[in-house]
Chain A
Amino acid sequence: MPNIKHLEDICTQVRRDILRQVHKVNSGHPGGSLGCTEFFVALYNEIMDRKDTFEMDGIGEDLFFLSNGHISPVCYSVLARAGYFPVEELNTFRLINSRLQGHPTTHEGLPGIRIASGSLGQGMSVALGAAQAKKLNNDDKLVYTLHGDGELQEGQNWEAIMYAAGKKVDNLIATIDLNGQQIDGATDDVLPMGSIKGKFEAFGWTVLEIEEGNNLEAILDGMAKAKAETGKGKPVCVLLKTIMGNGVDFMMHTHAWHGKAPNDEQLAIGLEQNPETLGDY
C-alpha cells in the first residue's frame, strides 16, 4: 500500500515550490499547477514504472508527456523531487540561461523532458508516436499524458483522438485536467465543449472519471483502474476533475491565477497554508 501521508507531504512541498518559483520571477502559471499537484505526485511516485536515470528513448519504462506545458512549475518541482535534477535548480525557473524554461523543452537538455510543449494540442500526437514505437520495440510499458480541458479546443487533439482509437493504440492513458477554466474564463463561457466524456466515447475510447482529482487515494484508485483497461484494443482516457489553484484558498475555483504570480503578501499566505515538509530548495 502506498504511504499516503508521505505522498501528501510531497504534495505540500510541491505546492510551496510552485508558489516560490512563480513568485520569484513574477511570472508563470500557478493555478493549473496547483490543480494537478496530486496527479503529478501520484504519477511519478506511485503510478509510473520508471527508471531513476533519464534516457531519452525511455525503453523499458513508462513515459509521460505533458501537453499543457504552461503548468511547468508543478512539472519541474515533481521531476526535481523525483531525482531527475537538483531541487536547487528550481531557483532558476524562467531565468536567463536556465534549463527550466517558461515552458518545458528538451532544448537545454533538462532530464525528464522528452518533448517541448507550450503551443497547445500537440502532446497527444507525440505520445501516440512514442506508444507505437513501444509496440515496434516489443516494449510493454505504458505512455501517460496530461492535457488541459481548454486545450481540447485545439483541433489536432481530435485528429489524435480519432487515430488512437482507429489504430488501437491501447498502451496509452491520456488524462484530461477537467478544471473547467481557461485564460479568458470558464470553459463553458469561452467555448462550450459539451460532453467531453461523450466525445471520447464516441471516438472509441475507454473513459474513466476521477471525481476527486485532488484526492490522492481517488487518483491512485482511478489510475489503477485505467491501467487495468490498457492492452484491450482501446486507448484509455481519464477525466480528472480538479480544482484550479487547489491548496491555496484564495487561488481556488477561479481562472484569475491561471497565469499570474502572487505578490509577497500572497506568497506568505500561500506558504503558511502549506508548511514546509521535505525542505525548501
Chain B
Amino acid sequence: MKTYTYTEKKDTRSGFGAGLTELGRTNPNVVALCADLIGSLKMNDFIKENPERFFQIGIAEANMMGIAAGLTIGGKIPFTGTFANFSTGRVYDQIRQSIAYSGKNVKICASHAGLTLGEDGATHQILEDIGMMKMLPGMTVINPCDYNQTKAATIAIADYDGPVYLRFGRPSVPIFTPADQKFEIGKAITFTEGTDVTIVATGHLVWEALEASKVLHAQGISAEVINIHTIKPLDDAAILKSVAKTGCVVTAEEHNILGGLGESVARVLATTQPAPQEFVGTNDTFGESGTPAQLMEKYGLNSASIVEKSKKVIARK
C-alpha cells in the first residue's frame, strides 16, 4: 500500500495567501477585496506588493460581494476574502443575484471553514456553506486538502472564467501533496488504491482518511482513498469507477452531512450504481467552542471515525 507522510504542518489559509501573492506577480487583472480580516486571510503580501489592486471594504460583506461583481465588468478578476460564514450565509442573496445569476467571474475565498476555527464557537463555525454554494447554478465549489493544494487551487481558479467558492481553514494540517502538483478543477485524485472500500474525502479530512487507510490495512482491509477537492462539478467518473471495484463508500468532510459532499456522492451512486454508503461529517448540528483537536474528536471528524464507518459499510455489502 502506498503510504503518505509529512514533515511539516501548515494552515491552508496560508496556502491561499501564497497563491494570491503569486497571482499578484503574474496576473495584472487579479484584484483582492477584504472585509477587515487581512491578517486572518493572509493577504498581507499581496497588499504590500499591489496596494492599488487591493480594496479594503470594511465590515460590510454584502457591499464587498457587489463591488466584486462590479469589478468584473471592467475586466478584473476579484478575489474576496473573509471567513466562510461571512462569505456565504451572510451574503447569500448578493452572491445569488449579483454573482451567480449574473455569471460574474468572482472568486469567493473563504477561510475558517468548519468546526476547526475552534474557540470562537458556533457563530463563526459554518457547516452549511458547501451546501449553499453547490446549490447555486454555475458555482464551482472547491475545498482543498492541504497548504500546497490550496495554493495551487488559488492560482488555478484565476484562469477559470466563472464564479468559484474556494474553502479553506485556520488549523495547521499536514502537508502531504507535492508542491508542484498541477491543480485541475473537477478532477479527483486517487491517493491509495484499494479493493474493499472507497473513502471519498475533501479538505483536511483527506489526511484523516489516509491515516484511517493505514489502520484498516493493518487489519487486512484494503481502502481506496480518493481526494475530491472539487465538490462541484463532481468527478462522477472517478467515484463510479472506484465504487464499481470496492462496492461501498465512506464520505468524509468537515461539513453537515445534510447538503455536503456525501450527498453529492450519494446522488451519483443512486442514479447510476447504488452502493452502501456511510457518512463522516457533522449531523444537523451547530458547533461549539473548543480546540480543533477536541472538536474533531467530539464530532467524529477523524481517522477513528472513518475506520469505524468503513467497517460498518463493508458489513453492509
On A, residues with C-beta under 8 Å from B are 56-59, 63, 65, 105-107, 114-119, 122-134, 136-137, 139, 155-156, 159-160, 162-163, 166-167
Contacts and interface: CB of A to CB of B under 8 A. Distances in A.
Given A130-B73, A156-B63, 12 more contacts: A59-B74, A65-B70, A106-B102, A122-B66, A122-B97, A125-B69, A125-B70, A129-B72, A132-B70, A133-B73, A159-B63, A166-B58
Contacts of B76: 133, 136
Contacts of B69: 115, 125-126, 129
21 contacts: A56-B73, A57-B73, A58-B73, A106-B101, A115-B69, A116-B97, A116-B102, A119-B96, A119-B97, A122-B62, A122-B97, A128-B70, A129-B66, A129-B73, A129-B78, A132-B70, A133-B70, A133-B75, A156-B63, A159-B58, A159-B63
B249 interface: no
A42 B78 CA distance: 33
With a 10 A CB-CB cut-off, give which of A114, A126, A160 has the most chain B CB atoms.
A126
Name the residue among A114, A115, A134, A163 with the largest chain B CB count within 10 angstroms.
A115
B23 interface: no
Contacts of B164: none
B53 interface: yes
Contacts, number: 119
Interface residues of B, number: 32
Nearest to B61: A159
Nearest to B68: A129
Interface string B25-66: 000000100000000000000000000110101101011111
A122 B62 CA distance: 8
Given A105-B102, A116-B98, A136-B31, A125 B63 contact: yes
Given A117-B97, A119-B97, A134 B74 contact: yes
Contacts of B65: 125
Interface in B96-113: 96-98, 101-104
Contacts of A129: 66-74, 78
B73 A63 contact: yes
A278 B38 CA distance: 55
B15 to A, nearest CB: 26
Contacts of B67: 125-126, 128-129, 132, 163
B101 A116 contact: yes
A136 B74 contact: yes
A134 B76 CA distance: 10
Given A129-B66, A129-B67, A107 B52 contact: no
Contacts of B71: 129-130, 132-133
Given A116-B97, A122-B94, A136-B31, A163 B63 contact: yes
A46 to B, nearest CB: 23
A105 B103 CA distance: 10
A118 B53 CA distance: 30
A116 B78 CA distance: 18
B182 to A, nearest CB: 30
Nearest to B93: A119
A107 to B, nearest CB: 6
Nearest to B100: A116
A57 B96 CA distance: 21
A208 B66 CA distance: 25
Nearest to B28: A136
Contacts of A139: 74
Nearest to B91: A156
B287 to A, nearest CB: 27
A135 to B, nearest CB: 9
Contacts of B55: 132, 167
A155 B66 contact: no
A133 B63 contact: no
A163 B60 contact: yes
A155 B90 CA distance: 13
Q: What 6 A-B pairs are tightest by C-beta distance, nearest first?
A: A129-B70, A125-B66, A133-B74, A159-B63, A159-B60, A129-B67
Nearest to A123: B66
B73 to A, nearest CB: 5
Contacts of B31: 136
A122 B98 contact: yes
Given A115-B73, A159-B60, A124 B101 contact: no
Contacts of A127: 70
B62 A59 contact: no
Contacts of B68: 129
A107 B73 contact: no
Contacts of A167: 55
Contacts of B53: 136
Contacts of A155: 62
A137 B65 CA distance: 20
A218 B22 CA distance: 52
A24 B49 CA distance: 57
Interface centre among B70, B78, B93 (most CB of A within 10 A): B70
A130 B72 CA distance: 7
Nearest to A119: B97
A139 B71 CA distance: 13
A107 B102 CA distance: 6
A114 B102 CA distance: 8
A125 B61 CA distance: 11
A168 to B, nearest CB: 13
Nearest to A133: B74
Contacts of A123: 66
A126 B70 contact: yes
